[in-house]
Amino acid sequence: MRLLIPVILVLTFAGFAGSTEAADTSYLYKASFIQAAPGKILDLIELYKSRQAAYKTIGDEAPMWCRHSQGDKWDLLMLFPMGDYVDYYQSARISRRRAAESAQFLEKLKEYIAWQEDIFVHGPPLDETRRAFGRAGFFHLEIFQALPGKHSELLKEREMENAYQKLLKRPENLIFVRDQGAGWDIFTIGMYRDIKHYAESADFTEKDQEAAAKASGFGAANKIGPYLRTLISAHHDTLAIAIK
């Protein structure tokens, strides 16, 4: 029986090699990275909370969000479900949004926000994204600009890293691909229960990491990061927490 477990692991990794699945990025979102004015982060969160009931009246899906813990300069990520441009920008829905945006609300946004960057992205189906946000208490965001001509290869690398995570029984990242807006080409969100869950990656043996890396298409576990850096011109990391 002692010999059976290593054999099963080898067969599992071997069967997985080359089977990286393309990410489903069929749903349209608007992502807003927001930096609060000094001392206004809690006021800004409460302001956005006060607007939650309005989304149902408008006919929009409520946004998902998280709050920066450390890393990049933004304080909030707001992920607004859109579906597609045609439905989201129907004239009736635009009119309802305008009616729901009081002058006081808009003035408070100007007072509470120091900087904002918006990007329209295609990402996972809405139910998958909501389920992941609903379970998570801790987030790891990676935001990338691809080198010229490397956009497709960067997306493939993100999918390979998801295959690597899956083999190690770690949460896979949600992948979002730029359509228009800010200059980022791809961002990914890793969802974890808490910071301890995020840090569990350090518990895997070198042997398991090597097997998972090779089965996912990487030369070795220690080559994942160096390979990624051959594809990008910029890369921002952020750790974030759920907003209750």
Q: What is the pLDDT of residue 80?
A: 97
Q: What is the pLDDT of residue 19?
A: 52
What does CATH list as the number for 27-123?
3.30.70.100
Q: What is the pLDDT of residue 3?
A: 38
For residues 177 and 155, the answer to whether their CB atoms sit within 8 Å is yes
**DSSP result, 101-146:** S-HHHHHHHHHHEEEEEEEEEEES-HHHHHHHHHH-SEEEEEEEEE
Pairing label, strands 27-36, 64-71: unpaired
Residue 1 tokens, joined: 């029986």
DSSP 203: G
Give how far Cα 2 sits from Cα of 5, 8, 10, Å: 6, 11, 14
Given the structure tokens 């002058």, which residue do they identify? 103
Helix (H, G, I), strand (E, B) or coil at 15: helix
Q: What is the pLDDT of residue 20?
A: 61
For residues 118 and 189, the answer to whether their CB atoms sit within 8 Å is no
Given the structure tokens 């635009």, which residue do they identify? 94
Q: What is the pLDDT of residue 24?
A: 72
For helices 4-16 and 151-167, give the axis angle rounded to 10 degrees: 160
User: Quick one: CATH architecture of 140-242?
Assistant: 2-Layer Sandwich (3.30)
Give how far Cα 30 sits from Cα of 20, 21, 63, 76, 201, Å: 27, 25, 9, 13, 30
pLDDT in tens, the chain (244 residues): 333 333 334 444 444 444 566 777 789 999 999 999 999 999 999 999 998 888 988 889 999 999 999 999 999 999 999 999 999 999 999 999 988 888 899 999 999 999 999 999 999 999 999 999 999 999 999 999 999 999 999 999 999 999 999 999 999 999 999 999 999 999 999 999 999 999 998 789 999 999 999 999 999 999 999 999 999 999 999 999 999 8
Pairing label, strands 76-83, 138-146: unpaired
Residue range(s) in the chain whose domain bears CATH number 3.30.70.100: 27-123, 140-242
Q: What is the pLDDT of residue 1?
A: 37
Measure the CA–CA gap between 117 and 108, rounded to whole angstroms. 18
